[in-house]
Amino acid sequence: MKIFLRSITFSFSLFICMYVCAQDAPQFSQYMFNPLQFNPAVAGNQQAIVTTIDARNQWVGIPEAPQTQSLTFHMPLYKISSGAGIHIINDNAGQQKTTGITLNYAYKKNFKNSTLSFGLYGGVVQRTLDGSKLISPTGSYNDGTIDHNDDNIPISLESSVIPDAGGGIYFQSNKFYAGVSANHLLNNYFSFNTENGPASIQYNPAGYVTAGYKILIADKFGVTPNVLYKMDLAENMVDFNAIFDYKDNIFVGASFRGNLKQQTDAVVLIGGWNISEKLGISYSYDVTLSEINTVSDGSHEIILRYRIFVEKPRAGKEINNLRYLYY
């Protein structure tokens, strides 16, 4: 436990020293069901090979509103007390598209009833920007010609690929979990060609703190409060929710999301069903509370999860062979 507390202190110090840009990180309402999306230390945290598909359609009714698809795959590596995984993400927002793939690794320190994991990820991210479909307030677009009247805006489809890396810590017991993570730590720039020469968009770091605790209400009922805190030195977003379950099978819940400046973002309704021990599905609907609700019909998100259980090998007994004098 001392190792965990020291790790948390170190991670908070790291977050305080870095600048975070939240718009580089897609929004997910069902973060508690797929934390590998933002914390590599989660890799291999279940005794199973876990594949999760997450699809989100944000701010329905607004043209070119963000749409995000995510695929995660992770599994335990018992022989080396580790876990490994892959994360693929595709995010479309207006004329900007971001696609990334990362490899995740987590080393695990096992205690009697809990596990402390240290994770890293590395990969590449591609961002494309279609300047031919952008419109500048001072531009001219007559007869099919494109003149943004701004030499810093591209006039064609531009693409840039950069490396990406991050890390995290995750603590898990039978009823409690907590984690901290820092993503996009290389602080790279996407470069695009414009009439004025190269222009760049910074891929700034992003930080996350999350926690949850399972409370048994009765033999067949339980509730799990969860929290996700996304750190940004300019903006701080927090998401609180509670998930009620029946036999760990059918579950419903609700979330509230806003920032620390008392600006509300959304209330989220969540429901799901673990169809079997292997297959589960969940859905959420965001009721927008900000001024965007005048033009948006809310946001939809659906998760499909499939697990193949892998039992942890049992340590066998050592048997001495009496035929030999050395044993």
What pTM did the predictor assign? 0.84
**Alpha carbon of residue 276 to chain centroid:** 25
Q: Which residues contact 197 (CB under 8 A, 6 or more apart)?
A: none
**CA separation for the pair 177, 224 (Å, rounded):** 11
Domains and CATH numbers, the chain: 2-309 (2.40.160.40)
pLDDT at 19: 32
pLDDT (tens digit, 0 to 9) for every residue of the chain, 327 residues total?
444 444 444 333 333 333 333 356 788 999 999 999 999 999 999 999 999 999 999 999 888 899 999 999 999 999 999 999 999 999 999 889 999 999 999 999 999 899 999 999 999 999 998 888 888 887 777 777 777 777 778 878 889 999 999 999 999 999 999 999 999 999 888 888 877 778 888 888 899 999 999 999 988 999 999 999 998 656 788 999 999 999 989 999 999 998 867 678 899 999 999 999 999 999 999 999 988 888 888 999 999 999 999 988 776 555 555 444 433
E strands, 137-175, where? 157-173
pLDDT at 149: 75
Q: In this structure, how many other beta carbons lie within 10 angstroms of the beta carbon of residue 308?
A: 10
Contact 40, 181 (CB under 8 A): yes
Q: Which residue has the tokens 């908070």?
A: 12
* CA triple 133-138-143, angle to 5 deg: 55
pLDDT at 319: 55
* 3-state class (DSSP) for residue 78: helix
pLDDT at 199: 80
* CA triple 214-215-219, angle to 5 deg: 115
Q: Please write down the long-range contacts of 87-93, taking CB distance under 8 Å and 24 or more positions apart.
A: 87/36, 87/37, 87/121, 87/123, 89/26, 89/37, 91/26, 91/66, 91/67, 92/66, 92/67, 92/68, 93/64, 93/65, 93/66, 93/67
Q: Which residue has the tokens 């060609």?
A: 193
**CA separation for the pair 61, 77 (Å, rounded):** 44
**CA separation for the pair 201, 190 (Å, rounded):** 5
**CA separation for the pair 133, 153 (Å, rounded):** 11
